[in-house]
Structures are given as structure tokens and as C-alpha cells.
Chains A and B, each alone.
Chain A
Amino acid sequence: EVQLVESGGGLVQPGRSLRLSCAASGFTFDDYAMHWVRQAPGKGLEWVSGISWNSGSIGYADSVKGRFTISRDNAKNSLYLQMNSLRAEDTALYYCAKDSSRWLLPVFDYWGQGTLVTVSS
């Protein structure tokens, strides 16, 4: 059974940093691209960032480019999102999502339950 478990969310002040993690199990992690998708409270879905199976292809939404960094450790079956210079508009539930492909062909076939990030003073 595919499982994606996010962690690292919490309350943080504007301008500070936070690092999210996603622990994956139930599939061959290094065979698939992975993504972060977020959902602000009561709002729709927004793709944040994605990384290919070998970290050779990475993409970011314009809204986070230059502030967020995605990475993965295939030996640990883990995905990460380093979030710097956080803003109030980054407040959201952050989902880890598995791609159906090795490359960034973002059809998200499995999702975690999300970790909540709240940016507020």
C-alpha cells in the first residue's frame, strides 16, 4: 500500500523558514517523480514544486520560485521542501504527491494527508 506521510508543518513568523518532509513507502520511491501541492484554507489546489526521480529536473510555481527548494533522498525514501522567507500567503495545507511518471508529468496518483503551515506574527 502506498503511503505518504508529511511532517514539519507548524506556526511560523513571516520571514522565517520551515522544512517539510514526506516519508514514502509501499512503492519504489526512486522510480517516480514527486511533488508538493498546497491548499490554502477554504481554497483550491495549487501546485508548488516537483522533482524528477533522479533530481535532474525540478520545477517551481512562480509564487515560490527563489524562496522554496525541493529535494529528495532516494536512500531514505524521503521528499523535502525547504521554505524560506515565508509570507502570510504561504499559509496552507501542504500535500506530498506521487507522480505517475519518472519525469515531471504531474498526474498525482497518490497523496498524503498534508501538513499545515501557518505563517503569522
Chain B
Amino acid sequence: EIVMTQSPATLSVSPGERATLSCRASQSVSSNLAWYQQKPGQAPRLLIYGASTRATGIPARFSGSGSGTEFTLTISSLQSEDFAVYYCQQYNNWPPGRYTFGQGTKLEIK
């Protein structure tokens, strides 16, 4: 099983500043990496897929980069609605049954 490790566990950033979240895979997942945002009491929302493609309706301040084992989600200028938990997820494995999420990074207001 591919293990996804996110860092840091908690990130404190002020509104208007840039946030950089990291995700590392225990082995290469190519660009088969997605990012999700989850707010309290809500279902997750897809932000990024293919490591760097924004999902429909996602603001341009969200960007993803990386390939292989190292990935980054950057939020260029934090808005109040961006404070949430962020998960990365790999979907590289075959046969079906090995799709794993990171443990999450909580982005909180500084």
C-alpha cells in the first residue's frame, strides 16, 4: 500500500498570506494525485486532480504542483473561507483497492 504523508499536521497562517501544504508518497504515483478541502460538518470538495488541474469552479488562488513522490498545494492569498482541513489522495494503484489518502493538514487562522 502506498502511504501518503502530509505536512505539517497544522498550519497557522494569517488571511491574505500564502499557504503551502505538502504531501509525500511512499513510492511514485506519477501525477495521479488529488487534493480535497473539508470544512467542519461538510463533505469533502475536490480542488485539484492530476496533481495540478483545478476542478470546476475552484478559484485560481488554489494551485497544485509536483509529480512522483512530492506534491504541493499552494493557496496564494488566504481568504476566510479557506480555513479547513486539506487531504491529498493518490489514485495510481492497480488493481483497484489501493487508493489512499493522507492524514490531512488543518489550516487555521493565525
Q: Give the A-B pair count, Cβ closer than 8 A.
A: 59
Over the window 7-24 of chain A, the binary record of Cβ atoms lying under 8 Å from chain B Cβ atoms (1 yes, 0 no) is 000000000000000000
**Contacting residues, chain B, for A45 (C-beta < 8 A):** 36, 38, 44, 87, 89, 101, 104
Within the complex, which residue of B46, B97, B104 is in contact with A61, where a contact is CB–CB below 8 Å?
B97
Categorize the interface residue count of chain B.
20 to 34
Minimum CB–CB distance for B95 against chain A, Å: 7
Alpha-carbon gap, A111 to B34, bound state (A) = 15
Alpha-carbon gap, A45 to B102, bound state (A) = 8
**A105 and B91 within 8 A (CB):** yes
**Contacting residues, chain B, for A105 (C-beta < 8 A):** 91
On whether A59 and B44 interact (CB within 8 A), knowing A44-B101, A46-B101, the answer reads: no
State the main secondary structure of chain B at its contact with A. loop
**A107 and B91 within 8 A (CB):** yes
Number of A residues with CB within 8 Å of any CB on chain B: 25
Residues on B lying within 8 angstroms of A by beta carbon are 1, 34, 36, 38, 43-46, 49, 55-56, 87, 89, 91, 95-97, 99-104
Residues on A lying within 8 angstroms of B by beta carbon are 44-47, 50, 57-62, 65, 95, 100, 104-114
